[in-house]
Amino acid sequence: MVGDDTIYALASGVGPAGVAVIRVSGAAASRTIGALTGREVPAPRCLTLRVLRDGAGEVLDRGMVAWFPGPESFTGEDVAEFQVHGGSSVVDGVLGALGRLADTRLAEPGEFTRRAFVNGKMDLTAAEGLADLVAARTAAQRRQALSQMGGSLAGVYEGWRGELVRALGWVEVGLDFSDEDVPENELHQQAVEILGAVRAQIARHLDDRRRGELVREGFRVAIVGPPNAGKSSLLNRMAGREVAIVSTRAGTTRDIIEVQLDLGGLPVTVCDTAGLRETEEDVEAEGVRRALKEADRAGVVVAVGSADTALPEAPGRAAEPIRVWNKVDLQGRPAGAEGIEVSAMTGAGLDQLLGALEQAVRSRYGDWESPAVSRARHREALEGCLAALDRAVGGGSGELLAEDVRFAVGCLGKLVGRVDLDSVLDGVFAEFCIGK
Ligand SMILES: Nc1nc2c(ncn2[C@@H]2O[C@H](COP(=O)(O)OP(=O)(O)OP(=O)(O)O)[C@@H](O)[C@H]2O)c(=O)[nH]1
Ligand SMILES: [Mg+2]
């Protein structure tokens, strides 16, 4: 995918807009400015107003042109950017004019960022952070993406990699001089100490209840309880729209119904489920089975009851559920019962419930300050590294020990992209869209 071609694409969103940005990267970038404006490249890194024309001299737009000579550019190559009015005819006109020039072609998805990576502008975790920032819907997602783009994960992983390389040095010196008068035991001991320390840090980093991955995907919250407690009504109230069917009949909901919420910046997926009860009816029984599975999967369970249905024991593996008494407009919770009083009908108590939910998510996923594993790709590499270090500190010696440490170093290298494996890169950049 990476080549000598000069690539171009619409970098801003598709559809009519005030402004559209078209980005060009590669050796021919300065020529594209010449071809479209009929003039020399403007001063670097300044916006300059120019008339843009196609090859036949037809005016396409009056817009701003920016010139970023490499390596001081996003990709590290020569880059030109055209800020034009964001109508489809203007954008198509400019893209068409660029496409008719020699040595240019439309960029593949993620190709600009891939070139930035290949040219050493960012490591692989920073490139992933950039993809996350483009996809971020909530403040927690934005914070995590920006921190990762800024090198928070790379810093941690490079630090460990450096330590392992140092340990490998001790092991290899021990190997080279094993016949001579070098205290091999001491060298070995030094190495194992370093390996053990890094191993402990990686284990702690992995033990994060998947916080970083859940920030990307959304924390799951399951609403469970007996039929007719008002679970679907509560979901609709939280979503602010009629997502789930509500009826006076018990056993209305069967499928899992999901709604994405932004809860104080946290991305949360709230799931409505079938009312829990013994039933002979096979479709409803399947619904109950799915409800129990969802309760197991969710990080937080909201157990809903009401005076006419009572509050059930919350199923699922999650920690202590958030207990909720619904329909307080009819009747408050029974004396001695615990739980937040709400009314899905009037909205009473909803703010308190949302506050408790946010609090539960924040406290159950621990330390929000340190950078977290944000992708399965990272988790796999770190687990591979951990397993190799387990073998290494578990009594390995000589060449076998060196081999385990080299493997562990390789795992961390793959993480930040020091090992330039095409398969790794294809996977990472496949999730970008065109123009990024
Ligand atoms: N008065 C009052 N009625 C409510 C409230 N919430 C729900 N209801 C009523 O209770 C009945 C059941 O509501 P649903 O939201 O369908 O209950 P559910 O728990 O989803 O029921 P299943 O899907 O059958 O498990 C409906 O008639 C709702 O209008 C409330 O806060 N106050
Ligand atoms: Mg329901």
- Which DSSP category does 208 fall into? S
CA dihedral 11, 100, 108, 4 (to 10 degrees): -110
Which residues are close to ligand 2, an ion, with C-beta < 5 A? Answer: 232, 252-253
304 Cα: distance to centroid of ligand 2 (angstroms): 11
Residue 85 bridge partners (DSSP): 19
pLDDT at 1: 44
282 Cα: distance to centroid of ligand 1 (angstroms): 22
226 Cα: distance to centroid of ligand 2 (angstroms): 9
User: What are the structural domain ranges in the chain?
Assistant: 6-121, 126-208+373-429, 215-364
Tell me which of 246, 278, 290, 350 to substitute to probe ligand 1's pocket, judged by most ligand atoms within 8 Å of the beta carbon.
Answer: 246
On the 0-12 / 13-18 / 19+ scale of CB atoms within 10 A, 275 is: buried
Q: How far apart are the first and last CA of the chain?
A: 14
Number of Cβ atoms within 10 Å of the Cβ of 210: 18
Note the CATH number of domain 126-208+373-429: 1.20.120.430
SS3 of the chain: helix, strand, coil, percent, to 5: 45, 15, 40
Tell me which of 223, 228, 254, 331 to substitute to probe ligand 1's pocket, judged by most ligand atoms within 8 Å of the beta carbon.
Answer: 228
In tens digits, the chain (436 residues) has pLDDT values of 446 799 999 999 888 999 999 999 999 999 999 999 999 999 999 999 999 999 999 999 999 999 999 999 999 999 999 999 999 999 999 999 999 999 999 999 999 999 999 999 999 999 999 999 999 999 999 999 999 999 999 999 999 999 999 898 888 877 776 665 555 677 788 889 999 999 999 999 999 889 999 999 999 999 999 999 999 999 999 999 999 999 999 999 999 999 999 999 999 999 999 999 999 999 999 999 999 999 999 999 999 999 888 777 777 766 789 999 999 999 888 778 889 999 999 999 999 999 999 999 999 887 788 889 999 999 999 999 999 999 998 877 778 888 999 999 999 999 998 865 665 667 667 767 777 7
362 Cα: distance to centroid of ligand 1 (angstroms): 29
On the 0-12 / 13-18 / 19+ scale of CB atoms within 10 A, 64 is: middle
Residue for token pair 């398969």: 423
Give the CATH class of 215-364. alpha beta
Pick the CATH number of 6-121 from 3.90.550.10, 3.60.15.30, 3.40.50.300, 3.30.1360.120: 3.30.1360.120
Residue 165 Cα to chain centre, angstroms = 29
Pocket of ligand 1 (CB under 6 A): 227-233, 246-248, 250-253, 274-275, 326-327, 329-330, 343-345
